[in-house]
Amino acid sequence: MSDAAQPTAAEVRAAVEAVKTALDRHLAAVERRTGEDDQAVYEAFNELASAAETYDELLYDRYDEVTPFEIPGAEESLPPYAGPGEPNAVSVLIRRDYSVAEPQRLLAQAQRVEAAEYDDAEAANEEAAATVPGALGVLFGEFEPDEIASRHKEFGLEEGDSTLWVTAADEPAEPGEWLEAPFDEVDPERVLCRFDVSAVFDEDHEDDDEGLDELDADDELDGDDDDLEPLDAER
């Protein structure tokens, strides 16, 4: 960044003051928490995350320094909640990704399901899914999504990322109202909370553990805590 485009020292100072204010508001909201999913705590958390991220960026642009803050990525793509304060209804949207790791196992499981529907084994084999798309249709038609998630290896599947969004609604939808396009009208500003599962998070923890193991090993070899130098933060 050029010197002309750099933020001023006053802007950095204002950003850190905003972080302090957001910290106070977050603590106050936590102290007044009325339940596990208190909306005020949720909003205060997002305000604190936004203030900390802004300060971190300005600090780096102005002074080439970073903070130790790590903003959870799950909230970055969502705007602040702007739905009803007391929702009368909620919708739960779930996405789970799988890869077909063992097609033959998948086909075999689908054939077992089909066979249980028929008395005649030969008829069952004719009706059993002979393709991966057909086998998936059989299995997902027979088992609940949560059961498939817990038994995915039995079905020849390998888990990928998953996410669950809870969105607020003013009133429950009429029967059949949104079935033709169930995911087309999701309003990010009405997302009450979301929960993400990804191997990326596990890799982050593994990297942290490896770093700690290396520090422990160095410490044992040196025998002196003073010999450890601080790690440089990378942006």
DSSP type of residue 149 = H
pTM, whole model, 2 decimals? Answer: 0.53
Whether pLDDT at 166 is above 60:
yes
CA 173, CA 68: separation in Å to the nearest integer? 44
Question: What pLDDT, on a 0 to 100 scale, did the predictor assign at position 124?
Answer: 52
More confident residue, 151 or 117: 151
For the stretch 25-81, pLDDT in tens is: 999 999 998 877 778 888 888 888 888 889 988 998 999 998 887 655 544 556 778
CB 155 within 8 A of CB 45: no
Structure tokens at 153: 């290896």
Question: What pLDDT, on a 0 to 100 scale, did the predictor assign at position 145?
Answer: 92
Question: What pLDDT, on a 0 to 100 scale, did the predictor assign at position 75?
Answer: 46
Task: Name residue 208's amino acid.
Answer: D
Give 141's pLDDT tier (boundaries 50, 70, 90): very high
Share of the chain above pLDDT 70, in %: 74
The per-residue pLDDT of the chain, averaged, comes to 80
CA 222, CA 225: separation in Å to the nearest integer? 8
Checking 31-38 for CB contacts under 8 A at 24+ apart, the result is 37/192, 37/193
Question: What pLDDT, on a 0 to 100 scale, did the predictor assign at position 215?
Answer: 52
Give 108's pLDDT tier (boundaries 50, 70, 90): very high
Task: Name residue 77's amino acid.
Answer: S
Question: What pLDDT, on a 0 to 100 scale, did the predictor assign at position 130?
Answer: 81
For the stretch 200-210, pLDDT in tens is: 776 555 555 56
More confident residue, 178 or 234: 178
More confident residue, 189 or 234: 189
Question: What pLDDT, on a 0 to 100 scale, did the predictor assign at position 77?
Answer: 58
CA 65, CA 71: separation in Å to the nearest integer? 16
Ranges of each domain in the chain: 3-71, 89-202
Give 224's pLDDT tier (boundaries 50, 70, 90): very low
